[in-house]
């Protein structure tokens, strides 16, 4: 299975954080445990099964006022607190006789390298280490096409770099955050056990204050 688009809103790392991301992923259903002697193509695609995959995309957001975000390199897009992102996901779908598809999915995403040219000296800078979600999915199968909605819990980790007057890092402190996510997407079979999808997620993580 795959994914293309996610939006993440967070509060953390010494102040509020609002983050938006989009990602593209592709993955494959795990093969059956017993070999099939002769390949048989079904006239109707069935979404039931476990899957593993990877995703890549772009993220954007805000930590709120006074947090001195550490900018990430967006390359083809404006820099943000996440920039380009990538990660992994795994899940399970169950297609019912009425073509409703129920599923669960967990994923984790990591940000791109820091955009050093945009970095200016400040007492501290805040950024993400990772963010992850565990979600339920509900969709309706139109053969090999599956539109769906999704939602569940989200969590992540930010850290703040404490800097000297020249902007050199003196120390770091990490903070964990937990929150929620909701989104929607559309998935389609691309051949064999492979599928891809476009998905948009909104993620809101709890505010943390660094003392």
DSSP designation for 66: T
- 36 part of a folded domain: no
User: Within 10 Å of residue 175's Cβ, how many Cβ atoms?
Assistant: 19
- 182 part of a folded domain: yes
- 211 part of a folded domain: no
- Determine the pLDDT at residue 150: 96
Rounded to a whole number of angstroms, the CA Rg of the chain reads 20
Burial 78-87 (b: 16+ CB within 10 A, else e): ebbbbbbbbb
Number of structural domains found in the chain:
1
- 171 part of a folded domain: yes
What is the domain extent for residue 111?
18-30+45-205
| pTM across the whole model | 0.75
Q: pLDDT at residue 3 above 50?
A: no
- 179 part of a folded domain: yes
CATH number for position 138 = 2.40.160
Residue holding tokens 């996440």? 82
CA 208 to chain centre: 21
- 210 part of a folded domain: no
Q: pLDDT at residue 38 above 70?
A: no
- 7 part of a folded domain: no
Phi, psi angles (nearest 5°) of residue 118: -90, -5
Q: Over the stretch 69-117, which tens digit does the pLDDT of each residue have? A: 777 776 666 677 777 888 999 999 999 999 999 999 999 999 887 777 6
Q: Over the stretch 123-182, which tens digit does the pLDDT of each residue have? A: 887 888 898 999 999 999 999 999 999 999 999 988 888 888 777 778 888 888 899 999
- 54 part of a folded domain: yes
């Amino acid at each position: 299975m795959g994914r293309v688009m996610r939006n993440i809103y967070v509060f953390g790392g010494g102040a509020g954080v609002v983050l938006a991301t989009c990602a593209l992923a592709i993955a494959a259903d795990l093969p059956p445990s017993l070999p099939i002697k002769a390949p048989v193509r079904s006239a109707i695609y069935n979404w039931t099964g476990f899957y593993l995959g990877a995703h890549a995309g772009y993220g954007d957001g805000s930590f709120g006022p006074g947090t001195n975000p550490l900018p990430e390199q967006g390359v083809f897009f404006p820099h943000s607190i996440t920039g380009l992102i990538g990660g992994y996901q795994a899940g399970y779908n169950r297609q019912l006789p009425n073509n409703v598809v129920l599923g669960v999915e967990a994923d984790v995403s990591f940000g791109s390298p820091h955009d050093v040219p945009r970095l200016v000296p400040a007492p501290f800078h805040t950024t993400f280490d990772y963010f992850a979600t565990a979600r339920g999915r509900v969709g309706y199968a139109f053969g090999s096409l599956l539109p769906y909605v999704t939602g569940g819990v989200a969590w992540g980790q930010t850290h703040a770099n404490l800097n000297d007057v020249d902007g050199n890092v003196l120390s770091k402190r990490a903070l964990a955050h937990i929150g929620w996510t909701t989104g929607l997407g559309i998935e389609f079979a691309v051949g064999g056990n492979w599928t891809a999808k476009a998905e948009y997620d909104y993620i809101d993580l709890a505010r943390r204050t660094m003392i």
